[in-house]
Chain A
């Protein structure tokens, strides 16, 4: 609410001296009066723009801090790089907002002050500026989110002691980067058709891989969710699934553990739907 009020106040202050100038007659006022009215307005607009830029930048930083963004992105590469330059991601975003508002102010000042230098160029610049700003923000967010995804998946996989496992977090990270770059570029109006095609092919391959490689897992998971929700048999029941007979020891999403005299069968849950279950009552 404050910025518009400030504009009004500033304008009234600006009008007053001009009014006084017309009455007064001493040399100083003459000099001041020689400056044309648009210049004054431009000056005020510039000042207001400066204040708004500073306030908005600080507000953005504070808002992001309040939302817990610094904690959420702790340890990502972007944040660490920012730290190396004695700043932080939220500070960078705040500065970006400041620069954006300042740039708009400068253009506004030019147009108010009737500076007609390369006018068409500036109008196009004004139209382009928000897109550039958005593209930059998308890029930063993409990089930070990608890093965060990498960290999260890495944390998840720490228990799995396979050296090659490191490839999965990186794939996820670069996928996010790629999508962010794509969105940012299309925001700028750069031709991205080839990249979109590439993304499509990549996603198609991924989906294909999943459906083929993990179809059994998916089937078992679907059957398992039924078993967990409906519980046709529970731990302690004696059952026979696909020729494996014994006491149920454990039911989870993908498999059922059935134990029988020192033999423990780990049966995939899809067998429940493929072969059916025999519950043994005696």
Chain B
């Protein structure tokens, strides 16, 4: 048994912070009562344990790396940890309760902008989360069983509208539909067969569908092999302050772009 404790001891030795991902309240209290001399950070979708410091998780990332990245970048933003710190993360790798401890050393190269994507975008964090949920839902179910692709441009809608033109009449004209309204899932599923992009404002209003984006595509660097939808989505985020969330028709993945860079890639099937 001593060897086992040594194994865990090596993982958690000299850490400057402990990150608890979605802890149960008893789990959290054990740590809080222990009065560790290191920073204790809770990362969860809801601050059910009333912890401070706390980083809100907008999506339950099934990819543990994304989840840890998000937590660390959030804590970094709040000034709780700094570069070079080693931290221990208590996470549930196989869902549910915490079943693993992972040691991470914070380095600049880790920075993926995944926290920025939600917290520091032009659009409100809730709107970005809602669009992600719609895209994930659409990716899971498809339209009438067939995979569909979709392109959502979120935020900075005024500028996006000026950098695009309509392909046909806008079905959302004079409507006041917001992402996150219950009707939207069904509506977008139907409209996703239309070509072009959905434009969504900072506050989540669906401004238009059927938009043909006309950004300048110079200097956009996205992985080779992604199609025109991804390219135009990435390019518009370089030209404006918008965020693009793209559901790929060919591989079914949801990707997020900001500033012309791919920030996040998730598989709807895992949610």
Contact = CB atoms under 8 A, between A and B. Distances in A.
Interface residues of A, number: 13
Contact of B202 (A231, A238, A249): A249
Interface string A29-65: 0000000000000000000000000000000000000
Contacts of B158: 235-236, 247-249, 259
A249 B174 contact: no
Given A249-B201, A259-B158, A236 B176 contact: no
Contacts of B156: 249
B161 interface: yes
A235 B205 contact: yes
Contacts of A236: 157-158, 160-162, 207
Contacts of B202: 249-250, 257
A228 B207 contact: no
Nearest to B176: A228
B27 interface: no
Interface in A98-136: none
A183 interface: no
B266 interface: no
A234 interface: yes
B164 to A, nearest CB: 9
B104 interface: no
B203 interface: yes
Interface residues of B, number: 15
B141 interface: no
A250 B162 contact: no
A265 B202 CA distance: 15
Given A228-B176, A231-B174, A236-B207, A247 B159 contact: yes
A229 to B, nearest CB: 8
A87 interface: no
A247 B205 contact: no
Contacts of A259: 158-159
Contact of A250 (B159, B173, B174, B203): B203
Contacts of A81: none
Contacts of A228: 176
A231 B159 CA distance: 18
A250 B207 CA distance: 10
B177 to A, nearest CB: 12
B155 to A, nearest CB: 9
Identify the 4 closest CB pairs spanning chains A and B, nearest first.
Answer: A236-B161, A247-B158, A249-B158, A235-B207
Given A236-B160, A249-B156, 5 more contacts: A228-B176, A231-B174, A236-B157, A247-B158, A250-B202
Interface of B: 156-162, 173-174, 176, 201-203, 205, 207
22 contacts: A228-B176, A231-B174, A234-B173, A234-B207, A235-B158, A235-B201, A235-B205, A236-B157, A236-B158, A236-B160, A236-B161, A247-B158, A247-B159, A247-B162, A248-B158, A249-B156, A249-B202, A250-B157, A250-B203, A252-B203, A259-B158, A259-B159
